Amino acid sequence: MDEADTNDVGAAANKIKEGAAELHSAVMDQGQEKFETLCKTADETIRANPYRSVAMAFGVGALVGIFLFKR
């Protein structure tokens, strides 16, 4: 391979790298938006039903405890 081919390969690799970085950034932004929406929904649900939320947390904790410490 001569120097021109090496430069072409390097330029192609840089384009792929830039495209991957842009895709990564877009996916991360979308994931962050979804996560924030889920957090807001969870917060609203917990504030609307605090006793139910505490009961569910207790129940899940009890089940996890039973399954982890079952002999």
pLDDT digits (tens, 9 = 90+) for 22-57: 999 999 999 999 999 999 999 999 999 999 999 999
Amino acid at 8: D
pLDDT score, position 5: 67
How far is residue 14's CA from residue 62's CA, in Å, rounded to a whole number?
Answer: 53
Spell 20-55 as b/e; 16+ CB within 10 A means b. eeeeeeeeeeeeeeeeeeeeeeeeeeeeeeeeeeee
What single-letter DSSP state applies at residue 1?
-
